Chains A and B, each alone.
Chain A
Amino acid sequence: MKVLLIEDEKELSFSITEYLQKENYLCEAVFSFDSAVEKINLYHYDCIIVDINLPDGSGLNLIRELKENKSETGIIIISAKNSLDDKITGLEIGADDYLTKPFHLPELNARIKSIIRRRSFGGVNEILFNDLRVLPEQMEVSVSRQKLILTKKEYDLLVFFLSNKDRILTREAIAEHLWGDEMDMADSFDFIYTHIKNLRKKIMEKGGEDYIKTIYGMGYKFSGQ
């Protein structure tokens, strides 16, 4: 799986690459518009993460160039500009997703996975983890072939965990994933706790293991070990 990261802020770029490398992606990072153009003309990527405001050009133009070449690459825009215009333009010209800085790394990771899943032709679009099986298109979850009835939030939470397994997910990242950023943190931590409790219970009722570990004062970790 090859990912190209176009981000001029080097420290941020390093963080993203470090996080994504653990997912066994081949993550390449470039810091300018010109080198990005060079890369996308030479190689094929499964997913491109592009910052709109590059010192020597607009990320939007990169997307246009990709689309002109009929590229099937998934595109995620990351931008500091919390402006609707950029978002609309970006999605209109063919970007798959849009993330506003500052974002949580697990969030970016989940979005990449979702795009790659949607684009993986041939194979069945499904997420497998031990005895868990998720069919994202149907929003169906089963444990050892037994169907789980989950609420929308529980489902979202599970997919978010599965996209970032063996990683600590902070409560902030989970809250923002589930409710966006208008929620009061103190309150949402309570709701996260409730949702996780229910999710854990539902999985275990069907004979699944307790995959969700609480990391005290920090967050949760979904892990098979």
Chain B
Amino acid sequence: MKLLTRTSLSYIYISGVVFVISGLIFFNLLHDIFKRQIDETLIEEKLLIEQTINYSDSVPDFRLIFGHMIDVTILNAPQTKTGYISDTLMYDSDLGAFASFRHLFAENTSIRHKGYTINIYKPLQDSEKLITEIVISLVLVFMSLLALLVLVNYFISRRVWIPFYRILDNLNKYEINQTAPLELPGTDIYEFKRLNQTLEQMSKKIRIDFMNLKEFNENAAHELQTPLAIIKSKLELLVQKENLDEDQLKLISSVFEATTRMSKLNQGLLLISKIENNQFIHPEEINLTQLLDTTFEHFEEMIAHRGISITKNYHHSLILKMNHTLAEILITNLVSNAIRHNIFKGRIDVVVQSDSFTITNTGQILRTNPRALFERFRKSENSTDSVGLGLAIVQKIINLYQMKIDYIYDAGLHTLKISYK
């Protein structure tokens, strides 16, 4: 949920609750006020009637004066003074239905010692109508005020948050290994200014650390090359010495193999850091199907040795625009991966579409998480002689050219799909 939606909604919820409660209180208050008003009129009328009775002992037609139901009865016997005011339901002939009335009842004895009872019925309908009208108009005013407030709040907030979303966009686009440091859009709001400063400082530090690490990796791999070359050359000279016995040769052979592995590893790491540093430029148009054909040719002995059958489905000719060396490395790694992790007498299917290509090979079920496939130094247990950099390099090349790679496993078939984003 967006912050703006959240604040607007909370605003509406809270205002709604406050509105309902205060509305009820207001309604009751209004009701009481009106009732009190009516009661006061009723008492005034009663007093007027009493005065008239005291003067004349007769009952004038009050109905004409007050316009509502008044019933006064003069009794001969004196009455004790009582009286009350209450709500009552009565049949209203004007309306033709029952309606609520305010009823005043009073009994008393006049100065001339005659008792009388007074019943005044005042219809509540008009005042109730008035209350309803007042409440409705108030509700309308309040609602429109609320709507206005919410809208104003929404637009102000939206304006206020614009820099925040710009900062987010910039952060999203930023990649730590790009050459320029992080730059965030300027803003005159203090909080966002602080956010900007903090983010910029943080990214600067991360960038420096990242660069240092990258540089270290690259230098380490680079500096290892010379000693490795020396070791290899000395071993080759050592092998040429006469009178070496079998045990000594075996020892040298082991050292030799380990050195070879190490230098392969080193070359792989160096390659990765070169790809990361964008040192492969000059993109060329690479005919993928041609490249696949030559690569399979290159591995033909290995393929024959393992009895692997190859099926090629070139539905389209796909032209990759990338550095020639990297294209070769990419395809070589994918093909050798498909051969290396294949089973004896397995198969490899290659499908080339207009915007993607897949390499499918038979093989044992993956025991590790497929996502870890593209990590460095990941290798399956049954191929100890690989250094585990092949797919990591593939991933780096894929990323460099804005392509994507997906791993799909289905019924003993491992598929790597490379497609343009």
Chain A positions near chain B (C-beta within 8 angstroms): 9, 11-12, 15-16, 18-19, 22, 80, 82-85, 101-106, 153, 167-168, 170, 172-173, 179-188, 190-191, 215-219
- Please report which residues of chain B, range 247-276, place their CB below 8 angstroms from some CB of chain A when the two chains form the complex: 249-250, 252-253, 256-257, 260, 263-264, 267, 270-271, 274
Let me know if B226 and A172 touch, CB within 8 A: no
Q: How far is the CA of A188 from the CA of B236 in the complex (A)?
A: 19
Let me know if A105 and B237 touch, CB within 8 A: yes
Q: How far is the CA of A16 from the CA of B236 in the complex (A)?
A: 10
A-contact 0/1 string along B275-311, CB 8 Å cutoff: 0000110100000000000000010011001000000
Let me know if B237 and A9 touch, CB within 8 A: no
Majority secondary structure of chain B interface residues (helix, strand, loop or mixed): helix
Q: How far is the CA of A22 from the CA of B239 in the complex (A)?
A: 14
- Please report which residues of chain B, range 311-328, place their CB below 8 angstroms from some CB of chain A when the two chains form the complex: 323-325
Given contacts A80-B222, A82-B270, A170-B256, contact A102 B385 (CB under 8 A): no
Let me know if A184 and B340 touch, CB within 8 A: yes
Which B residues are in CB contact (< 8 Å) with A172? 256-257, 260
Kindly name the residue among A9, A15, A16, A103 whose own CB sees the greatest number of chain B CB atoms within 10 A: A15
Q: Which single residue of chain B is at the shortest CB-CB distance from A106?
A: B236
Partner of A173, one of B229, B236, B298, B323: B236
Which A residues are in CB contact (< 8 Å) with B253? 170, 217-218
Q: How far is the CA of A188 from the CA of B298 in the complex (A)?
A: 12
Q: How far is the CA of A80 from the CA of B333 in the complex (A)?
A: 22
B230: Cβ under 8 A from any A Cβ: yes
Let me know if A103 and B252 touch, CB within 8 A: no
Which B residues are in CB contact (< 8 Å) with A182? 298, 332-333, 336
Give the interface size bracket for B toward A.
Answer: 35 or more
B88: Cβ under 8 A from any A Cβ: no
Q: Which single residue of chain A is at the shortest CB-CB distance from B302?
A: A187
Which B residues are in CB contact (< 8 Å) with A22? 240
Which A residues are in CB contact (< 8 Å) with B385? 184-186
Let me know if A102 and B336 touch, CB within 8 A: no
Let me know if B336 and A184 touch, CB within 8 A: yes
CB distance from B339 to the nearest CB of A (A): 8
CB distance from A170 to the nearest CB of B (A): 6
CB distance from B137 to the nearest CB of A (A): 83
Which B residues are in CB contact (< 8 Å) with A11? 230, 233-234
Let me know if A183 and B302 touch, CB within 8 A: yes
Given contacts A9-B229, A83-B279, A101-B225, contact A185 B236 (CB under 8 A): no
Which A residues are in CB contact (< 8 Å) with B188? none
B191: Cβ under 8 A from any A Cβ: no
B8: Cβ under 8 A from any A Cβ: no
CB distance from A53 to the nearest CB of B (A): 10
Q: How far is the CA of A106 from the CA of B233 in the complex (A)?
A: 10
Partner of B271, one of A19, A82, A105: A82
Q: How far is the CA of A180 from the CA of B340 in the complex (A)?
A: 17
Q: How far is the CA of A153 from the CA of B336 in the complex (A)?
A: 19
Which A residues are in CB contact (< 8 Å) with B230? 9, 11-12, 15
Of the A-B pairs whose beta carbons lie under 8 Å apart in the complex, a sample of 20, sorted by A's number, is: A9-B230, A11-B230, A15-B233, A15-B234, A18-B237, A80-B222, A82-B270, A84-B325, A85-B282, A102-B229, A102-B233, A168-B239, A170-B253, A172-B256, A179-B298, A184-B336, A184-B383, A185-B385, A191-B302, A216-B246
CB distance from A178 to the nearest CB of B (A): 9
Kindly name the residue among B233, B237, B260, B324 whose own CB sees the greatest number of chain A CB atoms within 10 A: B233
CB distance from A88 to the nearest CB of B (A): 9
Which A residues are in CB contact (< 8 Å) with B263? 102
B232: Cβ under 8 A from any A Cβ: yes
CB distance from B61 to the nearest CB of A (A): 121
Let me know if A167 and B302 touch, CB within 8 A: no
Q: How far is the CA of A173 from the CA of B252 in the complex (A)?
A: 14
